[in-house]
Structure 1
C-alpha cells in the first residue's frame, strides 16, 4: 500500500479545523484573549526567533502537555482562552490542531501561514539574543 503524502494529510486536516488570519491572531494575542503556542523545534526558535508572549510546546510533546492525565501535563493548557497553534508554515500546526480536536480540545485553531506568515505581516519577533 502506498504512503499517503503528507500534503494530502495537511489538506484533509485544514478542511476540518479553524485557521485564523494573522491580523486576527495579532489583535487577539495583544488583547490576551488567546493562548498562542509555538510548536516548532527548539532549533527553529534558536535560528529564527520567537513571537513575544507565545509559549513553546514542541510538537513531539504537545499531546502529553495538553492531557491533564499525563505525567507531563503543563498547566499553561488549563485555559478558557482559544488555543492557537503555529509552526513554520502552517502544516505541522494543521495536523496538531486536528489531533488536539480529536483529544477533545474544543476551542483551538491554527494561525494562517505560521511563523513565516507572522513575519511577512510585520509581527514582532524576538531574536535569540533577546533583541526585537
Structure 2
C-alpha cells in the first residue's frame, strides 16, 4: 500500500517556509519591543527545564483559541497585527504552532529557532518553571 498524505518532515518544512524564524537574541529584542513571547510547552517540561521571565504560558492545545481575534475564548491582546513569537523546547512544535497562527491571519507570528534550549544556551534569563495560566 502506498503512503498517503505528507510526512511530518514535509509538514514541518512547509510550516517553516512560511515563517521568518528568529534566534534567541532576536526574540529577546522583539519581546523588549512589544512582541508576545508565548511558551507552548507542557507544564512538566517547564517544571523540569524552566521558563523565560515575561513569557506568556499558553499550552499548545488551546493556542489557536486564545489568539484568534474571532474566538470567544480569545485573550484581550489577540489581534491580527499582534507580533507573536512561539517557543517550545527545541523549536519543532513551535514552527507548526506559529504556522497555524499565520493560517488564522496573525501575519506577524513566528517561532524561536532552537526553542527554550537555544534561549538558555545563549545565556538569556530563565527562571524555575511554574504553573499553567489558562
Which category describes the TM-score, using the shorter chain as reference length?
0.7 to 0.9
2: CA distance between counterparts of 1:44 and 1:20? 22
Q: Greater share of strand residues, 1 or 2?
A: 1
2: CA distance between counterparts of 1:37 and 1:93? 9
Unaligned runs of 5+ in 1: none
RMSD: 1.9
TM (normalized to structure 1)? 0.86
Q: Deviations over 1:78-107 (max 9, x none)?
A: 485521111111111111111111111111
Are 1:25 and 2:27 matched, yes or no? yes
Unaligned runs of 5+ in 2: none
TM (normalized to structure 2)? 0.85
Where 1:125 maps in the other structure, the secondary structure is coil
Superposed structure 1 runs of 4+ greater than 6 Å apart: none
- Aligned residue pairs, count: 128
8 Å CA contact 2:66–2:73 kept in 1: the answer is yes
Which residue is equivalent to 2:48? 47
8 Å CA contact 1:36–1:84 kept in 2: the answer is yes
